[in-house]
Amino acid sequence: MPVITEINDLKRIYRRRVPKMFYDYCESGSWSEQTFRENTSDFEKLHLRQRVAVDMSGRSTKTQMIGQDVSMPVALAPVGLTGMQHFDGEIKAAKAAEEFGVPFCLSTMSICSIEDVAENTNAPFWMQVYTLKDDDFMQRLFDRAKAAKCSAAVITVDLQLLGQRHKDLKNGLSAPPKLTPKSIANMMTKVQWGLGMLQTKRRFFGNIVGHAHGVEDASSLSSWTAESFDQSLNWDRIREFRKMWDGPLIIKGIMDPRDALEACNVGADAIIVSNHGGRQLDGALSSIRALEPIMDAVGDKIEVHLDSGVRSGQDVLKAVAMGAKGCWIGRAFVYGLGAMGQAGVTKALEVIHKELDLSMALTGHTDINTVDKDILMIPKDFSDNWK
C-alpha cells in the first residue's frame, strides 16, 4: 500500500482507478460549483486555538450519535451509485465502518440492496430514503429496513428537484447511466475496476429494480426515477413518513433555522445541516457557515449533525466545536473506496481519526465531548452580518 497521510492521497489514486463518469459524479457540484468549493474552503477560515502544558494523555474520541456509541463523531453518508465506484461498494464500505465503530448509512439509490448489506454485516446500519410519491414503495422500503434491523432512518428533504450538474449531463450519468463510445473507451482503460465489476452480480439499483412497481430491469428505471420524486413535498407529507417509521429518525438537508424548527415539530431525533455536497442549490451557504444560526435556533431541542465539505479530522473537530454532535463524510470515504476498496475506506477513517485525535489534544482537550467554541477563532462575519 502506498504511503497515505491525507484524504487527498486517496483522491489521487481514486481518480486513476475509477472511470471518469463515476469520478465526476462524486467530484462535482451544481451549476458554477461555488457552494461545492466553499463547503471545503470555509473550514479554512476557522482557526484553532493552540494550548500548551496540558496533560494530553488518555485521549478519547468516543461519543454517541442519536444514542448509539461511536468511536468518533463521524458517519458514512448515503452516496448513490457507490457500488459503481468499486464492485460491491456499499457492502465494503459498511464492513469498514462496522470494524471502525462508526455508522454506515445506505442510500436508496445504492447498487447493493438493503438485504445485500444486511447479509454481509453484523452491526445495524442506517437507511436513507427520498421523499417519493409512491406510498406503497415508501412503506415497503421502511419495512425492508426494519426487517434488516436498520437502527435509524434518514429522510433526505432537499431533492424535490434535481440540481443541474454539468459534468453528469456531459458524461451521460443518469439512472441508469447512458453509455457512450467515449465512456466505454474510458472504462476499458480502468482494468482493475473492470475486473472487479465482472466478478459481481450487483450492477443495478438493488433497492429499486424488482421492488418498485413497473421497474423490473434497468431499462425501465429511468422513467420511474423521473416521475417518482415529489415536487409537492411539505412538512405534512414528512409527518406521514414519520408514521411509516417508528424508530430513530434523522432529517437530512436542513440549511435554514426555520426548517430546523419545523424538523423539531415533526418528531425527528436529529437533523443534518447539509447542502447535498453542493450538488443542489449552487450559491447556498456552505454547511459550516449555516451551522451556527441553526444551533442558535434549536438549542438542545434536537441533535444536530453536519454534512458537506468534511475532508479531515480538523474539519470534524471544528464542526463539533461549533455544536455538531457528529459529521457525515461522503466523498472522503468514496475516494478511499474507489482507490483501494474496503481497505481504502478503513484508511480514510484512520486518517480522519488521527487528525481529529492529535488536533483535539493540541487545543487542550483529551475528550471529544468537552470540545467547545473556546478552541476556535471565528471571523466576525463568518455566519452573520447579512443584510
List 166, 211, 213, 276, catalytic entry: 276
* Helical H segments across the chain, by residue range: 7-17, 20-26, 34-41, 82-85, 89-100, 114-119, 135-147, 166-171, 181-188, 191-199, 221-228, 235-244, 257-265, 287-298, 313-321, 331-340, 342-362
Q: Is 47 a catalytic residue?
A: no
Distance CA 233, CA 160 (A): 7
216: left (phi over 0), alpha (psi -120 to 50) or beta: alpha
20: its cell numbers: 471518469
SS3 373: helix
Spatial CB neighbours of 194, under 8 Å, sequence gap ≥ 6: 187, 188
Contact of 111 with 206, CB cutoff 8 Å:
yes
End-to-end CA distance of the chain: 51
DSSP 356-368: HHHHHHHTT-SBG
Spatial CB neighbours of 234, under 8 Å, sequence gap ≥ 6: none
Nearest to 156 by CA among 214, 247, 226, 233: 233
Catalytic residues: 276
